[in-house]
Every structure is written in structure tokens, then in C-alpha cells.
Structure 1
């Protein structure tokens, strides 16, 4: 029972125009009606094969009405261009999608249904799944290998929960006999013309979604609209479960396609990367992404090039002193990959209006030495299901000599420990870094000025390469397993680190920010009042 539903306005009867015994969802489609790549998977060989089956939700008019006797359970840079293939669409926190699919398809060939509830972010066209469960057995009126009929009272409960929570409904059903990616059927099309207005009227005022799952993939679309939606599962790997269109690999990509295949190359090309920090490690990451064929890169850094940066800032020349670091990075990326779309943004990721951009990326590479920026990006990775890789380098000097050379690379994604779990963040340092210069000057607990740290290009290169290789393990079939590594430059060792996920962590657990999307605030520096130029 969801709190507040007993007093929900939908507890009062209200009619909607639905014909008796209306088919609301279906899956059976003759092969001649199938679209896209169906023939590739054998539809032409079996023109009368109806093994896909169908899901049927019967909704007689008099029973789909909410009735008192039923228990009522239940800025332009943010525009996501669909043609870019960015990670707009449905985002499941791993292993939710895989677990749900396994449960639904393990039903002795019976058609199965599930309902997911998602936070919809209109600015990024994403549905961040917060809860996904199979339909309980007692919610089916009948069920066999070619159909599943749900009780209308169950749909009423679903709509009411959506309305109270403000979450979108994702109506899920299976085609257990399908080959390749399943297709929505003509019965699906017809049924959604009734189901879509019902959820629009009785559920939350957000776009709702239909998702069909088969043994080899899935398809999703806006309920009743036909607009295709990608389906992602975000965890230690970033998996696209729906079809991935895209042009063939170019000749320049030949050697790496031989390593991780053309699908991996297509995914690299269509993801939108955010590189936070364009200094020593950030410039190297930008260089490697460009060579790998990444086509959409936003680089964010507030700083200008200084003479002391030139020893490690890849792509820079002496005349760049005084130039924004992001402009140097953008110039280098375009020189390597002229087809790339690069957005240089001279800004600080801890500022409220800039941090909002994190939800528009598909993968973030965090290349700063700031605890505050790490806190912001870390929470966004779990809150918006946008995976990130954090990296850092430290050279310790004492008594005139180097005593320690260390590096750290850690992926941040559902199922993996966050920076809070690993004890990486210092709350007092975050507090100071979030202050404005005026606030810092007035703070009696802040003393002195931060000293510049030693930095060497070759050591930065080692850590940056570990991070990019970890990225390849997350988005391509390259079997790179570690998601948290440390580098000991003195001993020449790279070691995998195991850290336990804290079950009640405020950042990475369901009790915290995980999959909360736009309903939670990020730990950012608030925007200054208009007219305040301090």
C-alpha cells in the first residue's frame, strides 16, 4: 500500500471511454507485418510462425473505472539530440533489467508481464527506473503461452501509484518465442491507443512507456506514440539491450575493431562523454577518446593555461598561456577527429547550473584534484545512472626526494562502491572547496593557500590509460574486469582494490540517492543571486 492512496481523488468512480473486452496490449504479429530486421532472424523462413505470442489486457468499460470497492494500492546544452544516439531512454540500475528479464522469461513458455515505475527527466528524455517487479500471479485473470490477461483492478492500482508518486509507468510484457529483437505487434499498436490515454488521465502527467522483452533483446517506445526508446542497464558494464543503429566503422578504426568488434566501436561513437577537468589527466583522456573515435565530448574546466601547466598539458604550446584549458583540449580533439562534436565549457562542475549537465552525459571521466567535484560527480553517477570513472595522481616529496608515487582509478556505477564507501572524500575539504573566495577569506578555520602539487606527464599518462582501459571494459566486449585500481609508481605495481558497498549509504544505496533522478538535489554550490558578480 502506498501512503496516501486511500485518500487519492481516483478513489471515486469516474468513467473513461473504453469498449468492452478491449485488447490493451498484444504481441502476436504475423511475419508479414514485422518491421526492421525481423527477416534477418528468420521471419521469412516461417511466414506463418506466430510463436511470439501476445499479451492481452482485457478492460471492459464498467470494470476499468476506479471504484470504491477496489483497494487502491498503490539551457540548450541540456537538449539531448536523439540522432546522436545519446543515453536518452530507459535506464535500469544493474542488475534490475537482467534479473527482471530472467524472471519473466523463466515461466515455462508462458507470457509474462511486469510493471516498472520511473522518474522522468524531461530535460534529458530519460526514464530512471526506481522499481521494477513482475506482475503477481493473482493479478492475472488468465495466462498461457500466447496470452496474459490482467485484472483491470490491477491497472487501477498501477495508475494510482503513478499519480501519487509522480512516476512514469513502464508497461512490460514478454514475447518468449521471438528471435532477435522482438517487435511490437499490430495488437500492441491497437491496445496502446486505449491504454495510453488511460494512464495519461489517471496516472502521473508524464510520458508513459511500453517495453517488450524477448530472449535476445527488447524494444521500447513511448506508450501510444510509437517513438522508439533505448533501453540501458547501468552497472559495472554499460549495456544497451535495445537495437543499436549506426554507421559502419571507418577504416581508421580497423585495428581497434579487430580488438573489440564493430558494435563496441559504434557504441563508443554514439555515447556522449563528459570530461571534467582538462589539466594533466584530463588532456590525456581527451586525446585518447579522440583517437578511439568518440564523437561527442564535452570538456568542463574553469581554469586558464599557466606556464607551469605546459610540462603536462597534452596539446598545449607556449602561446596557449592565458587560454582556457577547455579550448586547448577542444582544438586537440578536433585535430585528431575532425568529425567529433566538441563542446568546451569554461565552468566549475560544483556550480549548480553546471552540475545539471551531468545528467545529459552517457559516461563521465572525472579528472580533477578536487574533493568537491568528486562529491558532485559521484552522487550524479548513482542518482542519474550516468556511470563515471574517477582518477587521481599523487607524488609525495619529503626531505628533497620523492617518497611515494600513487595513482587511483575507480568506476562509479550502481552495484559498485561509491567514493563515500571507499573513504575517498574528506567532508571538511569539500566544505572549504565549496566556498566562494570571499567566504573562504572570512572562514576562521581556513589557513594559508593550497600549495601546488608535483606533477609529471608520464605518471599522469599511466593513470589516464588505466582509466580509459577501464572505460573500454565497461562499454565494449574487451574483458577488462577491474573497476577499482591503485598504481604504485615506486614499485611498478597495479593492484585491484576490493571495497564493500555500504547497505545504507546515502549516495549509492536505494536508501540514498540511487536512481532518484531529478527528485533529489546534488551537493552543489548554490547559484548566486542575479546581479551578484562576486
Structure 2
């Protein structure tokens, strides 16, 4: 996800604090790398104290050099970037950078470039009706996001004008801007099996144009009953290739990055840094642990989904599915106890390590799977995605499907205040500062 990302509700807090003043007001957002070029994570922000101003009125403000030195020293010491923030309190509509801003930014860009050369720095202007951001002194505008239960595009420069004819019926539901956002953001699908292939089809029909597809496996005969888009001729073909072909059949202009690789491998994970929204469609606890932590650590919203059919003594006893959004302010997979630590350990082992481990016995037993259940859960996930990025007013972020009762039940789970994954004292917003629980480069699961 490119641009500047705030963990909800930090942007709202910043804007409310700044706009409480009638005079132009300044603040500093300290940033971390978002993992890819053009991506920043808001790590902290401070309001400029009254004594920091050398000049301040309703249309302009200037900070004292001593305060800028203080800011640069902290940024360099803590290995952070700087986003200089000021308000246009009288702006109507989305604020724009003024000629005064243009003239003042270049010396600031030169100063912070010299004092904190390891980071790239930003400017952010905030008004009553929105905000706008750009690289400090350069002028290239960047998106601004607030990531929580909704992925709010606070500012999205260059959002393309799109033809709404093909998606006329859904544009009538959530508007042309919502459709434009869907068409512009990059979506990553991890796992292109039963749920992942069904989801890819739905997202392509919804108008998503930019896909990142990751799955290490090839199509097997036993996959054909539930792998959307696959035919017998696809046996031994990588699942990501089948999914990419199916997506292009729906939208020939789709931009697709397909990797036949395991997401838990250190070399594969950076592929996700270029995504704006993640879908976790695997039954591997290790991959869910890795991607689940990445969602909070890099503020990349994610929807995790799973299905299960339980058969005992030749009778179906349970048909269930779940969808859970992972984002700041929402409980993670650790909080909801959806991960098995011992299973994660086993899945991270190489074949050699498994052979030597006395606690790993037997082979994986295939579980029952049918396309109808996969498609139901994929549909729940697609609708949850729509409600996160467009005005679709669906609030559920954790849902349980019971196929025997024919019910979908929204649920509310509690955040664990000291959680190592989703709390501020844990991985939340740490970006590249914290390690991720990946399989080290050079170690491979055969």
C-alpha cells in the first residue's frame, strides 16, 4: 500500500486536535518505512507547542529553527522520517498546498535531507473537509489512509476516471468513487485453492484490476471439484497461473503478479508490501500467523477466511465457515485463539527437520471440501471487503457461517491489551523495525 498510513483513529485525533485552533497550527508526524518505495507508516505525532512558532496567524505559520533541530534530532536518533503538518483552517473542500507552502518547503526539505538522510520526508496539510499529502519539497502527491475497521482513503491523488457502464448496477449502490477505489487498489490473495480461486473470480467481476497471487502448489486431480476456473488440462499447472488466466478472462486489462511460492518464506513475503488489501485463503497456521502479524505491523488490512466440514462415522456433523478482518482496533488471530502454536512450529520445519522431530508423526490427512461452502465464505469475504473500502454499510468484521443451520452469525471478540501482534506494545505499526516470523532464507519446505 503506497502513501501515508495511520492506524485508526490516529488521523481523526490529529485532525481534531489541530482544527480546534482558529490559527494555522502545526504538528509533526514521525514515520517508519511501509516496506516498499512510496509507503510510510505514521508511528507517532506531536503538536507543536506555542513557543515553537516564530510567526502564526490565520493564514500562515512558521516554526523556529531550534524546534526543527529538536525534531530532526529525535528522527535521526529513532531512525524515523518526518511529515511536517499544518492546517488550512478556512479551506472549503479538500485543502490544497498554497504558494506560501511551496516557497517554504524547499529549504525544509534540504534541511531534513541533510540532518536525517536515511529517511524520505513528507508534508501534510489538513483542513475541515479533508487533507492532502506530498513528498516534502518535491510536490509529488501521495495517498493518505486511515486503517481500521474501514480502510479510509482520506486523500487519493490521481484516482482515475473510470467507465461505470460495466459496473452500473453496483455503482448505483456505492457510487463512482467507491468503484474507482476498487479498480485502483492492489489486492493480494494468499492461497488460490477452493476459497482463494472463488474469491479471485468475485473480485475480478467487482472490478478489481490489480492482483498479487501467491500459492506454492500445482493443480491436482482432487482439486478439480472446487478449484474455480480449473479444468482437467490444468493438472500439474501452478494454481496461480490458473487463477491469473481466469481473472484475465473476466478482465483482459487486469495487472497480475503471480508467484508460485510459500508466503512463509523470507524471500516471498516482501511481495505483499505492494498490496493495499490482503486476503488470507490458506489452511496453514504458519501462513496465517505470518500474514496476520504483517497486517498489523505494516497497517495492511486483511481478511482471513476458513471453511470446515466435520464427518464422524460417515455422517456430517458440522459445516462451518468464518471470515475475520485483521486491522488496527480489531482483534487479531492470536486474540481470537484461531492459531495453533504447535501446528505453526511443525509447518515451519523443513522436510529434514520434520524427519528428525519426534513429535511430528504421520502425514497430513485431506479434509472434506466442496465448492458451495467455499463460495459462500468467499462471498462473505468479498462483501466484508466492499464494506471496508466503499460506503456499503455492513459493520460485521467477524462472522461465523453454520451450513447445517443455514445461518451467518456476526460476533464480537475482545482485544488483548498486551497482545504481541495487534497492540501498540506489540507489532502494531512497527513496520520494518520488528522481525516477522518467517522461514529464514535458504531453508525450504520440500
TM-score interval (norm. to shorter): over 0.9
- TM-superposition CA deviations, 1:498-523 (whole Å, max 9, x none): 11111111111111111111111111
Q: CA deviation at 1:368?
A: 0.4
Secondary structure class of the residue paired with 1:353:
coil
Closer/same/farther in 2, CA of residues 455 and 382 from structure 1, 3 Å limit: same
Structure 2 counterpart of 1:523, from 419, 432, 437: 437
Matched, 1:175 2:98: no
What is the alpha-carbon distance in structure 1 between the residues aligned to residue 445 and residue 166 of structure 2?
47
What is the alpha-carbon distance in structure 2 between the residues aligned to residue 122 and residue 329 of structure 1?
26
Task: Give the alignment of 1:95-494 within 5 angstroms.
Answer: 95-107=9-21, 109-121=22-34, 123-141=36-54, 143-244=56-157, 245-494=159-408
Contact 2:349 2:445 (8 Å CA) reproduced: no
Closer/same/farther in 2, CA of residues 387 and 243 from structure 1, 3 Å limit: closer
Task: Give the alignment of 1:13-24 within 5 angstroms.
Answer: none
Q: When the two structures are aligned, how many residues end up with a matched partner?
A: 445
Contact 1:249 1:262 (8 Å CA) reproduced: no
Secondary structure class of the residue paired with 2:188:
strand
- TM-superposition CA deviations, 1:243-262 (whole Å, max 9, x none): 44212233111111011110
Greater Rg by CA:
1
What is the alpha-carbon distance in structure 1 between the residues aligned to residue 220 and residue 116 of structure 2?
55
- TM-superposition CA deviations, 1:380-404 (whole Å, max 9, x none): 1011111100000011110110001
What is the alpha-carbon distance in structure 2 between the residues aligned to residue 391 and residue 414 of structure 1?
18
Q: CA deviation at 1:142?
A: 5.2
Q: CA deviation at 1:181?
A: 1.6
What is the alpha-carbon distance in structure 2 between the residues aligned to residue 141 and residue 197 of structure 1?
20
Secondary structure class of the residue paired with 2:166:
helix
Closer/same/farther in 2, CA of residues 257 and 416 from structure 1, 3 Å limit: same
Q: Which runs of 5+ in 2 are unaligned?
A: none
What is the alpha-carbon distance in structure 1 between the residues aligned to residue 258 and residue 55 of structure 2?
57
Contact 1:249 1:266 (8 Å CA) reproduced: no
What is the alpha-carbon distance in structure 2 between the residues aligned to residue 349 and residue 133 of structure 1?
37
Provide the TM-score with structure 1 as the length reference.
0.81
What is the alpha-carbon distance in structure 2 between the residues aligned to residue 224 and residue 401 of structure 1?
67
- TM-superposition CA deviations, 1:339-373 (whole Å, max 9, x none): 11122211110100111222221001110000000
The structure with more strand, counted as a fraction of residues: 2
What is the alpha-carbon distance in structure 2 between the residues aligned to residue 136 and residue 489 of structure 1?
58
Secondary structure class of the residue paired with 1:251:
coil
Contact 1:327 1:344 (8 Å CA) reproduced: yes
What is the alpha-carbon distance in structure 1 between the residues aligned to residue 347 and residue 406 of structure 2?
33
What is the alpha-carbon distance in structure 1 between the residues aligned to residue 100 and residue 366 of structure 2?
66
Closer/same/farther in 2, CA of residues 527 and 122 from structure 1, 3 Å limit: closer
Secondary structure class of the residue paired with 2:155:
coil
Contact 1:359 1:380 (8 Å CA) reproduced: no
Contact 2:35 2:273 (8 Å CA) reproduced: no
Contact 1:167 1:204 (8 Å CA) reproduced: no
Contact 2:95 2:130 (8 Å CA) reproduced: yes
What is the alpha-carbon distance in structure 2 between the residues aligned to residue 278 and residue 123 of structure 1?
24
Q: CA deviation at 1:122?
A: 6.7
What is the alpha-carbon distance in structure 2 between the residues aligned to residue 164 and residue 157 of structure 1?
11
Contact 2:34 2:298 (8 Å CA) reproduced: no
Contact 2:261 2:268 (8 Å CA) reproduced: yes
Partner of 1:69: none
What is the alpha-carbon distance in structure 1 between the residues aligned to residue 432 and residue 271 of structure 2?
12
Closer/same/farther in 2, CA of residues 513 and 122 from structure 1, 3 Å limit: closer
Provide the TM-score with structure 2 as the length reference.
0.97
- TM-superposition CA deviations, 1:214-245 (whole Å, max 9, x none): 11111111111111111111111111111442
Q: Which runs of 5+ in 1 are unaligned?
A: 1-86
Secondary structure class of the residue paired with 1:241:
strand
Contact 2:285 2:339 (8 Å CA) reproduced: yes
